[in-house]
Structure 1
Amino acid sequence: MIKRYKLRFYGAVQGVGFRYTATHAANMYRLTGYVTNEYDGSVTCEIQGDDPAIDQFVATIMSGRFIGVERIDRTPLPPDDEERSFEVK
């Protein structure tokens, strides 16, 4: 079953390869959505796919060498049936 979440990552998440890691993980687990830096130093992702793949996506980001996630806010969203890729905004 396809799910979509808005994930907001806080901590050492900008300037550490977060968006590159997120894009690689999304492609590896065949997820769609986007990732973008926020002005407050956090990073927002909208991610779509099945729950096990989304959990692997988050685990891959958390294991990033320089990435230091302190907190993640997760908000469920309705799926976007037209979305076909993952991009950096």
Structure 2
Amino acid sequence: MPAANRLTVHGRVQGVWYRNWTVNAAQDLGLTGWVRNCDDGTVEIHAEGEEEALDRLTVLAQDGPPAADVIKIDRSVVPAEGHMAFEKRR
């Protein structure tokens, strides 16, 4: 089973194409999982794959798309859910 991380991205990350950007970045890194907006204004990312790719996604997510303004990212290790692709959720 691959490694898995849950990222909670804080800042101006909704309404700036952050979820679409995350899907592209995760797919480029060979990761699976999902990304969704949360009611509190954060974006939540569940990513599964190789540790190195998870680390890289975390670094890239600090910048995100051009219109985003990321304040901080909370990262935790979580159980893998066995996703076959990376998708955007509502």
TM-score normalised by length of structure 1: 0.88
Please, which runs of 5 or more residues in structure 1 have no aligned partner?
none
CA contact (8 A) 1:13 1:42 kept: yes
| CA deviation profile, 1:30-88 (whole Å, cap 9, x unmatched) | 1000000001100101011112111222222323311111111112111233x110011
Please, which runs of 5 or more residues in structure 2 have no aligned partner?
none
**Equivalent pairs, count:** 88
RMSD, aligned CA: 1.5
CA contact (8 A) 1:19 1:88 kept: yes
Runs of 4+ off more than 4 Å: none
Percent of aligned positions that are identical: 32
TM-score normalised by length of structure 2: 0.88
Q: Does 1:58 align with 2:58?
A: yes
1:20 is paired with a residue whose SS is helix
CA distance in 2, matches of 1:2, 1:28: 17
CA contact (8 A) 1:61 1:67 kept: no
